[in-house]
Amino acid sequence: MACALTLAACDRLPIPDPNKAAAQKELDAKAIGGACRHAGRALEDCYNLNPKASKAAIFAGWREMNDYMTQNKIEVVLPTVPPPAATTRKVKGPSAAEHDTAADDTPPKETHGSAHDGRNPALTAG
């Protein structure tokens, strides 16, 4: 009888269960995918914003939410807070303080032997 009571309380001990933790991570990733779809984010954006989450679980959650939204004619709810990676980036170089890539849409100036002209500068002679 005492042995049965001891075994019945095993789930209450503070021993981490790897199966339970893995299942929780899977559920969290599915919730992330569903939230991304509901917010109208592309699947690739969701992967990039959550690199530690399982891509398969994110896709499963995204697909389930997509089906649910389609069946129930639910519109996308656009996020009001930008993702943390959407902040403006500065260009490295001597004029980095003056040049903001988010505000300047002009392409960078090409130099002789750049990758844009198809030549390898190490192989061209002058």
Residue 70 in domain: yes
**Is the confidence at residue 108, as pLDDT, over 60?**
no
Model confidence at 116, pLDDT cuts 50, 70, 90, reads: very low
**28 located within any domain:** yes
Q: Is 43 exposed, middle or buried (0-12, 13-18, 19+ CB in 10 A)?
A: middle
- Summarize pLDDT for 43-87 with one digit per residue, the tens: 999 999 999 999 999 999 999 999 999 999 999 998 887 767 655
3-state DSSP of 74-98: CCCCCCCCCCHHHCCCECCCCCCCC
Number of domains in the chain: 1
User: Is residue 74 assigned to a domain?
Assistant: yes
Residue 114 maps to a domain: no
- Domain assignment of residue 23, yes or no: yes
Q: Is the pLDDT of residue 42 over 60?
A: yes
Which range marks the domain in which residue 25 is found?
17-101
- Answer for the pair 31, 53: CB distance below 8 angstroms, yes or no: no
d(C-alpha 37, C-alpha 14), whole Å:
36
Is position 119 within any domain?
Answer: no
Confidence of residue 19 (pLDDT cuts 50, 70, 90): confident
The CB-side HSE value for 94 (13 A sphere, CA atoms) comes to 0
Q: Are 110 and 116 in contact (CB under 8 A)?
A: yes
